[in-house]
Amino acid sequence: MLIGLTGGISSGKTTIAKVFSELGATIIDLDSLGHYVLKTDLFVYECLVYSFGAGILNEKMEIDRGKLGRLVFTNPNYLDVLNNIVHPPLIKYANQRIKEELLKNEIVVLDAALLIECKMDKIVDVIVLVTANEEMQVKRLMKRGLSEEDALARVRAQMSLKEKIAYADYIIDNNSSISDATNQAKQIWQNLISQSKSL
């Protein structure tokens, strides 16, 4: 079974992915794969520098994700350009990993903030959506060092929660405590295990 785990930025997906991992799932983190693509794909590197300029590079001439993020999250057109460059190789690489992991593991979780935007919702068996309100998301992002303005820009650049809910099979409300969200995740896990055994 392939579970799609998604949610807005700073909604708490990583926490829930960790819970699923501790319960026995294999996790594929699309964000980590995205970092890998940025570091290793020369074509992606060249396209990004051509599109956004050398200002997105650090002193080692590597893509600086912080600089790139500050640039693209202030302009929806820039974000579209970034996604058009990065998503095709990212999806190809993710599909390879998914095939490999499903051969070895009964339950695989694809942890992907942009699961729906990347059209990867079409390949998963079930979608678990982690939700948090905008105020909570901004607060968590500011704890990571972003200004309130940058945090709001990142939250509002993503697909709305209302749109994502329409795709979800299960919803975890992560507006209160970690223990509450963990308990919700464990209950969903039990349901998914039962569902997996009946397939």
- Taking the C-alpha atoms of residue 22 and residue 102, their distance in angstroms, rounded to an integer, is 18
**pLDDT at position 75:** 86
CATH number given to 2-194: 3.40.50.300
Run means of pLDDT, 10 residues per run, the chain, 199 residues = 94 94 96 93 97 95 92 89 95 96 94 92 96 92 90 88 94 92 96 78
CB atoms within 10 A of CB 83: 15
Q: Please, what is the Cα angle at 129 between 101 and 1, to 5 degrees?
A: 30
Token output for 3: 């579970």
Whole-model pTM: value is 0.90
3-state secondary structure of 112: coil
